Amino acid sequence: MPMMSRRHLMLAATGAAAIAAAPRFAFAQAAAPAAATPFVLPPLTYPVAALEPHIDAKTMEIHHGKHHAAFIGNLNTFAKDNPTIATMSPVEVLGKLGDVPEAIRTGIRNNMGGHANHSMFWQIMGPNGGKPEGEVLAAIDRDLGGMEKFTTDFNAAGGRQFGSGWVFVTVDKAGKLAIETRPNQDNPAMDGKRALMGNDVWEHAYYLNYQNRRADYLKAWWNTVNWKVIGERYAAAKAGTLGV
Ligand SMILES: [Fe+2]
């Protein structure tokens, strides 16, 4: 995405050594001239109806075009006075929330978390998503007890999450997987992990079609999962290059 490109340009301009020597980022200072709206809604790579009947087109349209877009709009508002947030990747910002000025910290936590979570979510879904294979399947067998236990445990965790939040499969640098939930729009990057994949259990993700039947949504959602992308994300996580 454009933001990542700018980050790479910034790294190239300043040098990785300089970044490594500055463990705390100066959020209150403008690091570079910023675009008026540096955050951009990542487009869906498939039509909004592509996940039907499991996720209906109207839900996708509102979820992506209104909910995710609202996070983008809010981040662009924050970036006017705090342009540094747009020069770092979302996972870097979320990993250093303590460095964000207190006045905007909750807003950045919610909106950058929402941007990161939803960017992941659109990526790991798609039509004709295939089946898990290769290294990621081996990791599921090793760490999560195989596909049947994994899907049962994942759905149970998503069902137990009280109120709004997410159920994730987190991955650490060694490639170890774990099922973990987070409230609100919190993201595993906030505690140094990465989301390999995850399901949104906010009511806005399913209410039009499933109403209060979250368990039915959790079960049907597996039909939308894009295992090719998740396999690629697993390889990137092990290489240390997985972003959102
Ligand atoms: Fe959502």
- Distance between Cα 223 and ligand 1 center (Å): 18
- Distance between Cα 114 and ligand 1 center (Å): 7
- Distance between Cα 117 and ligand 1 center (Å): 8
Look at 61 and 29; give whichever has higher pLDDT. Answer: 61
- Distance between Cα 224 and ligand 1 center (Å): 15
- Distance between Cα 41 and ligand 1 center (Å): 14
- Distance between Cα 127 and ligand 1 center (Å): 19
Cut 0.75: pTM above it: yes
CA pair distance 61, 195, nearest whole angstrom: 24
- Give the H or E element holding residue 177: strand 177-183
**For the chain, what's the residue count?**
244
* 68-to-171, 214, 221 alpha-carbon distances in Å: 24, 20, 19
- Distance between Cα 66 and ligand 1 center (Å): 10
CA pair distance 134, 137, nearest whole angstrom: 5
The pLDDT of residue 20 = 34
Confidence check: pLDDT of 39 > 60 = yes
Give 101-122 pLDDT, tens digit per residue. Answer: 999 999 999 999 999 999 999 9
